[in-house]
Amino acid sequence: MKIDIDRVETVTPNTLIGDLVLFHPETAELLFSIGMHCLGCPSSGVETVSDAASVHGFDTEKLVAQLNEIIKK
């Protein structure tokens, strides 16, 4: 049986944190640096970038732009 997993090519506010870190572990450094230390916790599988930014008091669009810059390198 084949399982299709959508690779994260571009980060959006709706990108799940768990998927982001799975496909782009290089983004973890930025997330850790802004206080998102729960990257491996169960909620990261259902929490979006927008959710995480809101909880941690960051501007969603700025975070999305920074994450996209990292994954395009």
pLDDT, position 6: 55
Write down the pLDDT at residue 26.
Answer: 94
Could you tell me the mean pLDDT of each successive run of 10 residues in the chain, 73 residues long? 58 92 92 82 83 92 96 88
Give residue limits of the domains in the chain: 17-71
Using H for helix, E for strand and C for coil, what is the string for the chain? CCCCCCCCCCCCCCCEHHHHHHHCHHHHHHHHHCCCCCCCCHHHHCCEHHHHHHHHCCCHHHHHHHHHHHHCC
Verdict on whether the full-model pTM lies above 0.75:
yes
